[in-house]
Amino acid sequence: MIARVTHGMLFDRLTQQVRELQNRIGMAQERVSTQKDLIRASDDPSAAARASRLHSEGADLRTLEDAVGLGLTMLSAQDAALAQAEAILVRAREIATQHSNSIHDTEARLQAAREVEELERGLLTVANTAVGGRHVFAGLATGAPPFAQFDDPAFDPAGAYSGPADPFELRSGPDDARTRITTPGNEVFTSALVALDELRLTLEAGTTPTDHIDTLAQASADLGAERSSVGGRARRLEARSSEILDGLQHNAGEIGRTEDADPIAAIVELQRLTTALQAALQSGRVLQESLLDHLRF
């Protein structure tokens, strides 16, 4: 038996086709306006899952980028501070060398002691260096400076540090690799503070400071070793920063390939669907006219 196709059936089928075309045109217009091929998860569940994973990876890389940037900022501040500290000890050694011969009298050594006192104050200021309120030689702690002031009644250069005993570390890799950013301040500056304070007391007493030259040299070497360590950690973080940047660029490309629409292809598809809708609407008008002509007879 051959099924009879009526005008009503043709009209219903055409109406359904028009609705489908209108829906597809709406989606095509959205792709053109957003330049996205993946707008809703229902568009392509597999691609949506991949996009979600890529966005999560990108967020993790940006978190690492911020952490590495913080680390580099703090290490740079430490390097600058250590350079100042080394310069202070160079001047202290010059003073010790100059006053290690008999041509300087007690008054001259007292004047030199006052200069060393200012050098000691300067070293304490360097040791209390802070960036954004975070002390770079105290585990990035906030609040009161970690080193006591020279004028404090109970000032003791060997025990001037009261900051955290643990260094500050940050996550610098996707595998939870960590990088040490700080060294406790007592490990960095105590030998230098003690050397300066002993030099000052010796000069105040009018005594020849020959024995302090080697002590100051060792303290300077300690600062130099820490500065080398800071430089090594900074170089590792710079390399990590470059890797993260490459990872972010790759991640953005993968997201684009997963989500983004080809703008030309999207426009061509919109035009094709629009033409198909116009043809369907024209067919509907022809069908209506045919039905009216049929009803007249």
pLDDT of residue 41: 63
Residue 143's H or E segment, with its range, is: none
- Beta strands, E only, the chain: 130-131, 134-135, 169-171, 178-180
> What gap in Å lies between CA 48 and CA 45, rounded to an integer?
5
pLDDT of residue 50: 87
| pTM for this entry | 0.77
- Report residue 189 as tokens: 């500056």
- Name which of 181, 180, 169, 187 is nearest 223 in CA terms: 187
pLDDT tens digits in sequence order for the chain, 297 residues long: 444 445 566 566 766 766 765 666 666 666 656 666 656 666 678 888 888 899 899 999 999 999 999 999 999 999 999 999 999 999 999 999 999 876 768 889 999 999 999 999 999 999 999 999 999 999 999 999 999 999 998 999 999 999 999 999 999 887 778 999 999 999 999 999 999 999 999 999 999 999 999 999 999 999 999 999 999 999 999 999 999 999 999 998 888 777 666 566 656 565 665 666 566 566 656 555 554 445 444
CA angle 182, 186, 192 (to 5 degrees): 110
pLDDT of 2 reads: 46
CATH classification code of 76-255 = 1.20.1330.10
Query: pLDDT value at position 191?
Result: 96
User: Which is it for the CA torsion 127, 129, 135, 139, positive or negative?
Assistant: negative
Question: Residue for token digits 């301040």?
Answer: 185
Q: How far is C-alpha 234 from the geometric centre of its chain's CA atoms?
A: 13
| Residue 6, φ and ψ in degrees, nearest 5 | -95, 165
Whole-number pLDDT of residue 276: 60
User: How do the domains of the chain map onto residue ranges?
Assistant: 7-35+261-296, 76-255
Tell me the two tokens of residue 181: 């950013």
